[in-house]
Structure 1
């Protein structure tokens, strides 16, 4: 098609663009003021004063007092005429961006520039319409600019031709010599008249709090671990004044509050997703330190659950990383962090009411080059979506947002894709970098949760051990008390009464203790039965589905013409086999019921192992090699077979999870091994999965402690308690000759008497 005309054209923005950049784009009046204060920071100011003058509170939707105005004054380097005309009045000016790209700092305070988009100054329009700016550099005369945004925001005009273009509106400026405002040094003053919004006492308090948190508070972990590189910015302060009275700054005791956190973790996440951390547990928990390096993208190489990591990064195509395939590589850059987690369980009561209020008012902050990114860290701003994840995933894998204070540190140089939104509320998701950033931090918190859960369960182990020793201690105390009564009390009648009282107390305690033991055993039986029924009912439903399809096929065949006798016989045989499978499923469940567990049998452990393997035949059919070894004579026990069966079901169910979820490397055979030793009265159950670290050897048997993504924390606990009823023990073994496979190796030691 021939070209009949050719030329060039430029954009001609309407003046209302200024309203969009300021009033409409900036979402919040507090954010707007914070943005102006950030500009003062970039201008090397050390002090900023925000003053509300002639302020009178208004009720409801009443407009602000027309005589009220705001002044923001700093002692920064100021602007001269050239900067005012060619930088300040040019929306989108790239001067700060160019300085950041060259990694240049501010000339006096050596700060990293915060702004880069060139539109933050228009946040003024969120606050008021009539603006006067006075500014002076150390060596130039004072410049004064007046802007009336009412000239730009003419949306009430009737016709399109009446809307003004941006180029049609001019702003008046003058040069003051001598200066009108800055007679003693450089700086900038912004006076905002014709205010658009009312401010309440709560707003002033929120503004003061936001400004206090503009720079990172003292981070005790960073101060301890990185004293040479970490510093608290103490060269920038503010004052907030309302009608001549300074708004009192909320008293903060960051160092004291952070030191109260019993669980603390400091670390980094590399640009490739490698997590390095130092973890510390302290009072009231037993002091414990843990240092680890974990590639979060190698989901199968660590034991804690992180569904967010797996969902975002793991896939079946694209790129390799450590033997596993990834659908994307992270783009967030290097992350530094410190996390402080508080134990908020009702029985701990580690914090007083004021400390709890402080904790509830903060969560996880983000600081770029030492300056806070808004609104990260604000109360109820759950940007890591922990509440949602607790509701939709397993709640035990995530902290409650109200028990964390965190500081995340990024830089413009290391994290170029983590950019503020134009509205200054949150971050943009440039090429998925922000979602990568969140996901990897969630992975770090998952790792910390696994560490703190271990410390909590270790504390419970100590308490349980003390509780188990109570019965014996009480009997010894009773004997000692009887001796003391006989020694001290001389009156035979009084002595007899005291002895009867002590004996009655011991009898009542024994009766109550026996009742509680029976109830606990009942709960354990019901819980174990529930786990087995859940699995068996799943298999039964699957088989019944096949049975229904077989019946439908039989009916369809009978409707066809021609000889079908052989086919009918085949279908009936298949249907008979399916019914037999359901029957066998029920036979496996039957010994697990509580009434069956009360009946002692002569049990051949090898036969129970075989029955367990049949029970899991569908799961074991695919890619898991099962080996059953027998050493010496038959291992026979006098016990209800349901107890042994339940133990093995729980152990194998646990092994299957780890073999499939975080099992062997690709192309490596997955294994499950049973060794029945009749001579030593032992049964070993081992797998080739990820294994159990020695520090978890006791914790895995505690109730409700689980490393599974959807685990209940009951399987191994029930196995231990059922074995204890038989006088048997179970433990995790780590050395030869007991350990046979590289994963988890559970050794059951039965009593040595013959069956």
Structure 2
């Protein structure tokens, strides 16, 4: 009698050749971990070694289970066949899990990831961990050899004590057994294939005992159980899968297949996901990048945050019953018929759906701007409709490129008409293995078989998305009123904000321009120069009048006229210096600080320049009159000066009164016109309707037609009434708001608008800067990491080179020069340490001499180029502070760097930067041009800089880091240069 014979290549054909790719293979192994009741399954991929480690904390396997289940294809235990093995163990402490692996070949997916694997497993039986591990080594290349029967290949298996993880010698024994099998088959194998497999076996050098020292849980320590796979070398194509990205905001092929292995976005009846899968990618010896994890996918918080939510269940006839929530309003009950069922139960069975939609235009959404941007980026990468069967994702559904419902295809025909887009939605279709058993996956795990059940399933969903878009998101939709109203309101609000922002921007620019001119004039002493010219001109004219031969009375009148001209010129100058702050406009921190500086300087000029000039004019005229005995009428001078001021004030208030009355009249006119238009619109609609009613009466209409006409007329009248009532309500609210905020102290709605806008501008500025700081921090952390690796290698090389330099005079000089340059470069490394305090947790004593030496070395070249001398007093050199060098060194570097820049604008020598001590304070001062009064308040502000190409972050970061260390950073008021003071904070000094 003949029998079937099984070639070894069957393993390769059933496994590696059936799996679509590495991501699919990893997903299969995740499913196996799920079936083993693991709560976590984790992958650590080490690129440099090509080592791929997959570990779970499931029930593991005994040696018997490993041989009879894991090494047996098509096991029937999962099907509970009466003649098969006993069912696989279950964990009584967890809810029962449906078995995902149906064919018993998912383990063969390992061959897709790499050609050889070490398997370690420890079983838990009846809640107790077994006292041994089972280990096995497999080279999948043996199953690719033509002409070899399956029973000719031996898989070495060995038991190890639970307290003893296998080391290199233990693994070597397993590997040598496979090598012996290969040698026994040598005469039947092609020479090239034999050499390839033999070479790979020789290079397999995995040491689980060593790996366990840096990979903690899941592990085998204590009562740890589960299964671990050590695959080496992993196929390099995995790196291409991870790294390849068509666009910055588009998911990689790797992410598309593995993200959302379990449903973390919605809360289901099953509760939280039974298992969490993670994938860590070790690009180098630094910290790994988590490619797959519980936070990489959508969270329940993000799901609830989007604009619209639809959830419900399709019954066995394909009819939908559920809830539709538009813009976070209380949801409506919604029932939708599927007409293709003909009243017969579907083969696909009942299933549930829940998804959320984010509006595509920021002005149409309720989501705050900062959250909207983050959600949009995440949806662009991972948005879609994911299918979960028994809580585990079915691939490739959810991948936006796999448009199985033609959602994106229809959207290209009309985005507004079809509405939905995968890149604007996150959703879950929840299947049950028992209820939806006819929805079966293809052998290669690339989707469902396209049988009748799948075609019904697809038809039901396509009908659902077409009809919900028509009912809720089109203007003529049956239930689209709420969507249209709220979106319209959001659009109006966005337009109002845009108009307000445009007006505010124009006012701010004009205001900023006036301030800039003021400070330019201040720096150039133009006001003082103009005052000096006015006084000089007056003195010349007064002297000429006094020395003339005209009568005394004529001289008196002439002097009083000259005095009035001088005062008028000063008044014009004073008016030019007066800048009005725009009302109802948020200025932002920097512009507000300039405004405060302007008020201080304008007041100083008023007292120190203008008022002194007025006194000088008065004294000049009086002096000339006394010297030449000219009789001046004191009261006439007094009266003339005051009358001139009264005239000017009256002119100004009359002009303001006229402008206010004109604005009030225009407002009244527009309000009355709006009220009249609304009243007219309602009356016109009512009159038109009454005319149509009379026409219907004369023509004769059936009772049914009258009922439908009544509904139509009521809707028309209701729509126009609702529209015009909303218009009048908004107008009424604005009037009431104006009246309600008007108080005797002058506080009104404009003040409130200004305060709110000020806060909004500040929050926007801070958000942008914090994002920029985060990006800078990430970049610098990368630089620091690479710098550390390079410097470490250089230090090691210099240590080895030193011994050669000692005995080789020709090499010694080169060594010393290279070492000196390296030490200078190494000094820069200190600058990066504040980015990660873990590098420098302990405080240390920092001496002033150390700081001075560090700065001298760091800036030596720039000091020479710009002829700057760095000085330090003896008190500073002897001063000692306790703190983190990673905080204080960068602060001094920043202060000295700024001082060098400022000193470049100083003419002549010397150019000095001095480090000094004042009491317990540290002081850094220079003899440069100093800080302009305009900038004193802003110099510590985020993003403020006068330096070309500067980022305006140095002093802000310096002050913030010092504050966390318990110190303050202040700018002293000085007559020359700039002086920065570092003070220890006390209860009385929190500045």
What TM bracket, shorter-length normalisation? 0.5 to 0.7
User: Partner of 1:72: helix, strand, or coil?
Assistant: strand
User: Partner of 2:31: helix, strand, or coil?
Assistant: helix
Q: Deviations over 1:69-119 (max 9, x none)?
A: 212222222223332233222322232233899999833432222111211
**1:391/1:85 CA distance change after superposition, 3 Å:** same
Q: Which residue of 1 aligns with 2:26?
A: 33
User: Partner of 1:96: helix, strand, or coil?
Assistant: helix
Determine whether 1:187 maps to 2:171: no
Q: Which residue of 2 aligns with 1:214?
A: 261
Q: Deviations over 1:122-169 (max 9, x none)?
A: 111111111222223234743332222212224xxxxxxxx2244354
- Report the Cα distance in structure 1 between the residues aligned to 2:98 and 2:713, rounded to whole angstroms: 44
**1:697/1:265 CA distance change after superposition, 3 Å:** farther
**1:438/1:505 CA distance change after superposition, 3 Å:** same
Indicate conservation of the 8 Å contact 1:72/1:189, yes or no: yes
- Report the Cα distance in structure 2 between the residues aligned to 1:334 and 1:133, rounded to whole angstroms: 40
Determine whether 1:357 maps to 2:377: yes
**1:103/1:80 CA distance change after superposition, 3 Å:** closer
Indicate conservation of the 8 Å contact 2:376/2:424, yes or no: no
Q: Which residue of 1 aligns with 2:486?
A: 459
The structure with the greater share of residues assigned to helix is: 2
Alignment of 1:1-40 (within 5 A): 10-40=3-33
**1:390/1:130 CA distance change after superposition, 3 Å:** same
Indicate conservation of the 8 Å contact 2:309/2:324, yes or no: yes
Indicate conservation of the 8 Å contact 1:268/1:275, yes or no: yes
**1:700/1:96 CA distance change after superposition, 3 Å:** farther
Q: Deviations over 1:52-81 (max 9, x none)?
A: 24x23xxxxxxxxxx522122222222233
Indicate conservation of the 8 Å contact 2:142/2:153, yes or no: no
Alignment of 1:278-427 (within 5 A): 278-283=323-328, 287-297=329-339, 313=340, 320-321=342-343, 330-348=346-364, 350=367, 351=369, 352-360=372-380, 361-391=382-412, 396-427=417-448
**1:700/1:458 CA distance change after superposition, 3 Å:** farther
- Report the Cα distance in structure 1 between the residues aligned to 2:325 and 2:134, rounded to whole angstroms: 55
Q: Deviations over 1:479-523 (max 9, x none)?
A: xxxxxxxxx999888877777788899999999xxxxxxxxxxxx
Which has the larger Rg?
Answer: 2
**1:99/1:279 CA distance change after superposition, 3 Å:** farther
Q: Structure 1 residue 219: deviation in Å?
A: 1.4
**1:394/1:104 CA distance change after superposition, 3 Å:** farther
Alignment of 1:606-685 (within 5 A): 633=698, 675=701
Q: Which residue of 1 aligns with 2:120?
A: 134
Indicate conservation of the 8 Å contact 1:218/1:232, yes or no: no
- Report the Cα distance in structure 2 between the residues aligned to 1:23 and 1:334, rounded to whole angstroms: 34
Q: Structure 1 residue 416: deviation in Å?
A: 0.3
Work out which of the residue numbers 69, 88, 93 in structure 2 matches 1:87.
Answer: 69
User: Partner of 1:133: helix, strand, or coil?
Assistant: strand
User: Partner of 1:23: helix, strand, or coil?
Assistant: coil
Indicate conservation of the 8 Å contact 1:143/1:173, yes or no: no
Alignment of 1:437-586 (within 5 A): 437-449=457-469, 450-453=471-474, 454=480, 455-459=482-486
What TM-score do the two structures reach when normalised by structure 2? 0.41
**1:464/1:389 CA distance change after superposition, 3 Å:** closer
**1:676/1:502 CA distance change after superposition, 3 Å:** farther
- Report the Cα distance in structure 2 between the residues aligned to 1:503 and 1:175, rounded to whole angstroms: 98
Indicate conservation of the 8 Å contact 2:115/2:232, yes or no: yes
Q: Structure 1 residue 344: deviation in Å?
A: 1.4
Q: Deviations over 1:411-431 (max 9, x none)?
A: 11111011222212222223x
Q: Structure 1 residue 199: deviation in Å?
A: 3.6
Q: Which residue of 2 aligns with 1:176?
A: 159
Q: Which residue of 2 aligns with 1:240?
A: 280
The structure with the greater share of residues assigned to strand is: 1
Work out which of the residue numbers 47, 65, 79 in structure 2 matches 1:97.
Answer: 79
Q: Which residue of 2 aligns with 1:434?
A: 454
Q: Which residue of 1 aligns with 2:137?
A: 146
Determine whether 1:49 maps to 2:42: yes
When structure 1 is superposed on structure 2, of 137-146 and 71-80 the one drifting more is 137-146
**1:701/1:389 CA distance change after superposition, 3 Å:** farther
Q: Structure 1 residue 405: deviation in Å?
A: 0.7
Indicate conservation of the 8 Å contact 2:395/2:446, yes or no: yes
**1:34/1:389 CA distance change after superposition, 3 Å:** same
Indicate conservation of the 8 Å contact 1:374/1:426, yes or no: yes
**1:693/1:13 CA distance change after superposition, 3 Å:** farther
* Alpha-carbon RMSD: 4.8
**1:702/1:169 CA distance change after superposition, 3 Å:** farther
Alignment size in residue pairs: 463
Indicate conservation of the 8 Å contact 2:37/2:90, yes or no: yes
**1:366/1:269 CA distance change after superposition, 3 Å:** same
Q: Deviations over 1:565-620 (max 9, x none)?
A: xxxxxxxxxxxxxxxxxxxxxxxxxxxxxxxxxxxxxxx999xxxxxxxxxxxxxx
Unaligned runs of 5+ in 1: 1-6, 57-66, 155-162, 223-228, 298-312, 315-319, 322-327, 468-487, 512-603, 607-628, 635-673, 678-682, 704-755
Unaligned runs of 5+ in 2: 125-129, 166-219, 244-250, 475-479, 495-649, 674-690, 724-991
Q: Structure 1 residue 388: deviation in Å?
A: 1.4
Indicate conservation of the 8 Å contact 2:55/2:229, yes or no: yes
Q: Which residue of 1 aligns with 2:740?
A: none
**1:134/1:465 CA distance change after superposition, 3 Å:** closer
User: Partner of 2:411: helix, strand, or coil?
Assistant: helix
Q: Structure 1 residue 386: deviation in Å?
A: 0.2
Q: Deviations over 1:627-646 (max 9, x none)?
A: xx986546xxxxxxxxxxxx
Indicate conservation of the 8 Å contact 1:80/1:140, yes or no: no
Indicate conservation of the 8 Å contact 2:265/2:298, yes or no: no
Indicate conservation of the 8 Å contact 2:309/2:354, yes or no: yes
- Report the Cα distance in structure 1 between the residues aligned to 2:318 and 2:31, rounded to whole angstroms: 31
Q: Which residue of 2 aligns with 1:538?
A: none
**1:255/1:500 CA distance change after superposition, 3 Å:** same
Q: Which residue of 2 aligns with 1:124?
A: 110
Of the two structures, which has the highest relative contact order with CA contacts closer than 8 Å and spacing of 6 or more? 1
User: Partner of 2:363: helix, strand, or coil?
Assistant: coil
Q: Deviations over 1:647-678 (max 9, x none)?
A: xxxxxxxxxxxxxxxxxxxxxxxxxxx8399x
- Report the Cα distance in structure 2 between the residues aligned to 1:694 and 1:143, rounded to whole angstroms: 79
**1:463/1:96 CA distance change after superposition, 3 Å:** closer
- Report the Cα distance in structure 1 between the residues aligned to 2:354 and 2:714, rounded to whole angstroms: 27
Q: Which residue of 2 aligns with 1:550?
A: none
User: Partner of 2:472: helix, strand, or coil?
Assistant: helix
